[in-house]
Structure 1
């Protein structure tokens, strides 16, 4: 089996999961009467997908060379996501002085999906290193 197979599986599952979640998310927003593309929802899904891809692919590439530091690198990746949140999303979310549930969900739903997928794939990768 080619080594890139793990990366391809991660990317396919990531795109499918985020695509389905995005479709459900905007459908629910529309059905409840809220604007579908408000609160930087498209940007949130895109940034989370890009960061998850960069983080996992980086961990995969350096898995043998930096085997003892994968956990720290994984946490650094999560920290990077929070930096993006506070630079890109937080200022506009707090513009009115309050972060609504819709604003929180617009960022947290794709963040949580990406985090779960990264965690599962990184754990499987670490198991194979032993």
Structure 2
């Protein structure tokens, strides 16, 4: 595919869907609750955010070529803001963030961050 945004979006959907399936399978094998801790919302929100951030960088690539790294960091701050708005209050209701709550948010966040970083670095290297 010649369009980096479309290619990235398809790759992000596939990778996060596979990781989500593996995450659920591990929870199932360990006899842990599979759909608690806002796991579905976490995967969906992280997917939307990485696609939106990559898309914004793609659209701004010409005008802000030298500032794309800072814009990427701004996207990371946006992800943290969303975490503190959507997930943190729910996780802190009992004043404890359990390993399952942490994993429900952190696994899709890290997978998305790695995918985003690798894809952006490859894409930016082609711009030079």
The verdict on a shared fold, with TM-score over 0.5 as the criterion, is yes
- What is aligned with 1:23? 21
Q: CA deviation at 1:33?
A: 1.3
The answer to whether the 8 Å contact 1:60/1:125 transfers is: no
**Alignment counterpart, residue 55 of structure 1, candidates 34, 53, 56:** 53
Equivalents in 2 of 1:104, 1:47: separation in Å?
15
- What is aligned with 2:124? 126
Computed over aligned residues only, the root mean square deviation of the Cα atoms, in angstroms, reads: 1.1
Q: CA deviation at 1:114?
A: 0.7
Equivalents in 2 of 1:95, 1:26: separation in Å?
24
Query: Mind listing any 5+ residue stretches in structure 1 that lack a counterpart?
Result: none
Normalised by the length of structure 2, the TM-score is 0.96
- What is aligned with 2:42? 44
Normalised by the length of structure 1, the TM-score is 0.94
Equivalents in 2 of 1:56, 1:65: separation in Å?
15
Moved over 4 A (4+): none
| Matching of residues 1-130 of structure 1 within 5 Å | 2=2, 5-130=3-128
Query: Mind listing any 5+ residue stretches in structure 2 that lack a counterpart?
Result: none
